[in-house]
Amino acid sequence: MSRGALRVYLGAAPGVGKTVAMLSEAHRRLERGTDVVIGVVDSRGRDFTEALAAPLERVPPRRFDGAVDRAVDGPDGSATVEELDTLAVVARRPEVVLVDDLAHSNAPGSRHAKRWEDVEELIEAGIDVISTVNIQHLESLNDVVESITGLRQQETVPDDVVRRADQIELVDMSPHALRRRLAHGNVYSADKVDAALANYFREGNLGALRELSLLWVADRVEEGLGQYRSEHSIAESWPTRERVVVALTGGPEGRTLLRRGAQIASRGAGGELVAVYVTPPDGLVDARLEGIAELRRLTTELGGTFNVIKGGDVAQALLDFAASVNARQIVIGASRRLRWQALFSPGVGQRVVDGSGDIDVHLVSHELTRSVRPPLRFGPDLGLARTTVGWVLATLGTLSLTGILKATPGWHDLPLEVLLFLLLTVLAALAGGLWPALLAALLSSVALNWFFTPPLHTLTIADPQDLVALLVFVIVAVSVSSLVHVSERRAASARAAQREAAALAASAESLLGERDQLPALLRQAVEFFGVDGAAVVSRPSVRDPWQVWCATEGFDVEGIPRASVLATVDDERSLVLLGRVLTGADRRLVSAFASRAAALVRRDELVEQARRASALAKDNRARTALLAAVSHDLRTPLASIKAAVSGLRQGEVSFTPEDEASLLETIEESTDRLTALVTNLLDMSRLQSGSITPRVGPVDVEAAISLSAGQLPEGRRVRLVVAPDLPQAVADSGLLDRVLANVLENALRHSPGRQEVVVHASPVADRVQLRVVDRGVGVPEEAKNLIFAPFQRFGDAPKAGTGVGLGLAVARGLMEAMGGTILAEDTPGGGLTIVIELPLLTQPASAPGSPRLADRMSP
437-490: per-residue pLDDT in tens? 778 878 887 887 788 777 777 766 666 766 676 677 667 767 776 777 677 667
Does the pLDDT value for residue 396 go beyond 60?
yes
Percent of the chain past pLDDT 90, that is, above it, reads: 11
Contact by Cβ (8 Å): 294, 250: no
Instruction: Compare 594 and 336 and report the one with higher pLDDT.
Output: 594
- Residue 772 pLDDT: 92
Phi, psi of 553 (to 5 degrees): -65, 135
Percent of the chain past pLDDT 70, that is, above it, reads: 74
Instruction: Compare 485 and 186 and report the one with higher pLDDT.
Output: 186
Contact by Cβ (8 Å): 822, 815: yes
Residue 69 pLDDT level (bands cut at 50, 70, 90): very low
Per residue in 729-749, pLDDT (tens digit) is 998 887 888 888 888 888 888
Whole-structure pTM value:
0.39
HSE-up (13 A, CA, CB side) for residue 279:
14
> Can you list the pairs that 518-525 forms with residues at least 24 positions away whose Cβ atoms lie under 8 Å?
518/550, 518/597, 518/600, 518/601, 518/604, 519/550, 519/552, 521/593, 521/596, 521/597, 521/600, 522/550, 522/551, 522/552, 522/597, 523/552, 524/593, 525/575, 525/577, 525/590, 525/593
Average pLDDT of the chain is 77
Per residue in 543-566, pLDDT (tens digit) is 677 777 788 877 777 766 656 566
Contact by Cβ (8 Å): 727, 768: yes
Does the pLDDT value for residue 48 go beyond 90?
no
Instruction: Compare 37 and 574 and report the one with higher pLDDT.
Output: 37
- Residue 294 pLDDT: 81
Radius of gyration of the chain (CA): 43
- Residue 282 pLDDT: 60
How far is residue 664's CA from residue 649's CA, in Å, rounded to a whole number?
12
Instruction: Compare 669 and 489 and report the one with higher pLDDT.
Output: 669
Q: Which helix (H) or strand (E) holds 360?
A: strand 360-364
- Residue 504 pLDDT: 67
Helix (H, G, I), strand (E, B) or coil at 240: coil
Residues 6+ away with beta carbon under 8 Å from 106: 83, 84, 112, 113, 114, 115, 118
Does the pLDDT value for residue 283 go beyond 60?
no
- Residue 566 pLDDT: 66
Does the pLDDT value for residue 341 go beyond 70?
no
Residue 513 pLDDT level (bands cut at 50, 70, 90): low
- Residue 837 pLDDT: 92
Instruction: Compare 594 and 167 and report the one with higher pLDDT.
Output: 167
Does the pLDDT value for residue 345 go beyond 90?
no
- Residue 133 pLDDT: 92
Instruction: Compare 86 and 194 and report the one with higher pLDDT.
Output: 86
